[in-house]
Structure 1
């Protein structure tokens, strides 16, 4: 039976991933959930505006907006101790609430102004119960995490009013993605009042907000042997959760174990909290400084370090096999993928590949390669960005999924567990 081939530990991991996704409707919630779990596991929360007291053997967590870094030092950490880093990202493609968000459409519908965030599969967001989630900041500078629960829906036009829809659906990003969230007297409609109520403040106190849209359907295992798993935001909360689990269970021996998950990957990473920004470098510099490293010692440590960048990748699609490389075909349930690209859209090189394959062997985890079909453009992730900024050897990996950038994505139950075990082998070295 297929069910008997899914280990109990893999099922426990996927249930915890489901809980993590449910707690993380926005990047800000994801960073907060990582920090909460790290503190619960004994890590000390440190604040960027304060002095840091970092000592060998210590465990720490720091949050910057929607990004988070968790790290642990071996007992004998010194100025030239290298870093073992696992990187991921907290954001997912979708929609973001515009300024002056409340609008009133024909027919008495209350609507909201949304801006497309990243590259979502727009049609997958239609006819789903959605929520708003993120942060509101008061005029006094206080930040509040908020989420509304099921509140809005982007309705599709009925087939009776668009007889050719099954021959090709084209959505206008401005006109066709504005959700409904109520009907009636327009004077009583103001989404900012709703968000303020969730934050426990008055709407007049709101000075700014970063609010995204999230699907509210719960994550679920399914299939003949419950070996498949569907959820929103697997890109890339799957890697964030796997890295966090690996980090919290790792006892570093020869390297400083670092788990970092960044916001804004889906839109290029160029922000103060994105991978192209200074956040990770700032943390590494402060760790090195606490260990007495000067420039030469820090460069020595960086030269001996390894960064594993993890993001989801493409499993072979059974209905579109021609879109994949004819030889390298990652399959769901076949273990994490090693991402390779000749044009450095992924940062993997021979030494990085060897380090990853050795980690998978040590963790007794199967692994497989991913390379794009030459006729299909290759995506990218935080790997090349971090390698360029820090000069640390980087290898790009991930888990094969279907429906990437859909409101609801699909993976095999065993693969996130395999990925976390391989990450643990990296972080515990």
Structure 2
């Protein structure tokens, strides 16, 4: 177990406030659409300028900018005042804004048996299905609404408790406590009405939420949402629990660090991608050209040609941020004996011999030194050698933007549950570490080393 650092009451209080800030952010981000909208709100409040992908860009030294793709992925950047065409380098942090849930199908309603009205949904990502049972649910996402001359996207967030997926009682399923295998087509259809509502009322609910006529809602991308309020809990206030901690905890930390840093010698970049939970293979996912397109255009606006962009990439560094599995209190055997992480133990550096994580000795050394200078504890993580681990966006993004990189995360329990748990102190560790990363001048010397200014 990592050595516990003694923290003053003032420091603990400040870290607890950061945890509360995380919960406020999570509450505003029930879907990836809302995550991008909330990020835009915070960026614009800080003076950043929106640049649409389909328009010409002009950048000035010292300026902060952002662009959005499909309403669910966002890249923001800040140009240091001392950056010139011959010395461009990108210091980047990337996270994802989507979480496992259930997507409402285009024909959403299932009538019967009897007068029941249910929703027809399908799984998005690898969620723990049973954690969605027997809890009131809402619906959120986006709808395309007919307007004069076309259609436009509108955010939807039905925060009322309008759905529930009921369990089969123990009397009708005596083997339920011996192992529960749920069929998503059969067992996970949310109950919408017991007879008061009929076909078409789900669409009417969405239209009413938007304040438009039913016929004006042309299409939608809607998801089930657990609106249970996040909280800091425990006798000593050690824990934070909420939905979407994977990966909104890292997205929040990366965005906060970007907004609070100020490096005049680089182009600082923060990216939040969609669709990591389903493989990232979309036009707005980490496997797309989104980040590369942005970086090429930024370099061009700063006077670099194609060779200049390639040189800039060779000088650049990325921190891929996605949460990690903490040692489970009841099942420590699930994790490696030594390369394991603990709640409130600090930043997790993730490694894997199969390269599903990007970390190597170079990246670990650079980021470890930054954390050491910032006073942030670091924990190693590797999967058990006899178990298949997960992957994240870092190695996927490297296919189009090949830079020195490493994968980090924050330790959590119950990953992909509808209500996850992490350490109340770790978000502040991440903000501090990533702020120090953005503020540091990571000057890469070929493949041999790096200087940290």
1:206 aligns with 2:212: no
Q: Which residue of 2 aligns with 1:43?
A: 48
Contact 1:23 1:33 in 2 (8 A): yes
Cα distance in structure 1, aligned partners of 2:153 and 2:176: 44
Q: Secondary structure at the match of 1:151?
A: strand
Contact 1:6 1:414 in 2 (8 A): no
Deviation readout 1:7-34 (Å, 9 max, x if unpaired): 1221111111111110000000000100
1:60 aligns with 2:65: yes
Shift, 1:2, TM fit: 9.7
Task: Tell me which moved more, 202-211 or 11-20.
Answer: 202-211
Q: Which residue of 2 aligns with 1:7?
A: 12
Cα distance in structure 2, aligned partners of 1:362 and 1:255: 20
Q: Specify whether residues 6 and 324 from structure 1 end up closer, same or farther in structure 2 by C-alpha distance, changes over 3 A only.
A: farther
Which of 110, 117, 122 in structure 2 is aligned with 1:110? 117
Deviation readout 1:72-98 (Å, 9 max, x if unpaired): 111011223100000000000111010
Task: Tell me which moved more, 320-329 or 335-344.
Answer: 320-329
Contact 1:35 1:62 in 2 (8 A): no
Shift, 1:50, TM fit: 1.6
Aligned length: 429
Contact 1:3 1:226 in 2 (8 A): no
TM-score (norm 1): 0.97
TM-score (norm 2): 0.92
Contact 1:337 1:367 in 2 (8 A): yes
Cα distance in structure 2, aligned partners of 1:347 and 1:44: 31
Q: Specify whether residues 6 and 116 from structure 1 end up closer, same or farther in structure 2 by C-alpha distance, changes over 3 A only.
A: farther
Which of 71, 78, 87 in structure 2 is aligned with 1:72? 78
Q: Which runs of 5+ in 1 are unaligned?
A: none
Shift, 1:388, TM fit: 2.1
CA RMSD of aligned residues (A): 1.5
Q: Which residue of 2 aligns with 1:30?
A: 35
Cα distance in structure 1, aligned partners of 2:68 and 2:215: 28
Cα distance in structure 2, aligned partners of 1:206 and 1:418: 44
Q: Which residue of 1 aligns with 2:156?
A: 146
Contact 1:110 1:186 in 2 (8 A): yes
1:173 aligns with 2:184: yes
Q: Which residue of 1 aligns with 2:449?
A: none
Deviation readout 1:239-262 (Å, 9 max, x if unpaired): 110001000001013221100000
Q: Which runs of 4+ in 1 moved over 3 A?
A: 1-6, 185-189
Which of 289, 293, 296 in structure 2 is aligned with 1:285? 296
Q: Secondary structure at the match of 2:33?
A: helix
Cα distance in structure 2, aligned partners of 1:205 and 1:399: 43
Q: Secondary structure at the match of 1:388?
A: coil
In the TM superposition, 1:73-88 aligns within 5 A as 73-79=79-85, 80-88=87-95
Cα distance in structure 2, aligned partners of 1:413 and 1:239: 13
Q: Which residue of 1 aligns with 2:203?
A: 192
Q: Secondary structure at the match of 2:162?
A: coil
Q: Secondary structure at the match of 1:160?
A: coil
1:388 aligns with 2:399: yes
Q: Secondary structure at the match of 1:148?
A: strand
Cα distance in structure 1, aligned partners of 2:65 and 2:125: 31
Q: Secondary structure at the match of 1:141?
A: strand
Q: Specify whether residues 360 and 253 from structure 1 end up closer, same or farther in structure 2 by C-alpha distance, changes over 3 A only.
A: same
Q: Secondary structure at the match of 2:429?
A: helix
Cα distance in structure 1, aligned partners of 2:139 and 2:290: 27
Q: Specify whether residues 5 and 287 from structure 1 end up closer, same or farther in structure 2 by C-alpha distance, changes over 3 A only.
A: same
Q: Which residue of 1 aligns with 2:242?
A: 231
Shift, 1:138, TM fit: 2.4
Q: Specify whether residues 114 and 188 from structure 1 end up closer, same or farther in structure 2 by C-alpha distance, changes over 3 A only.
A: closer
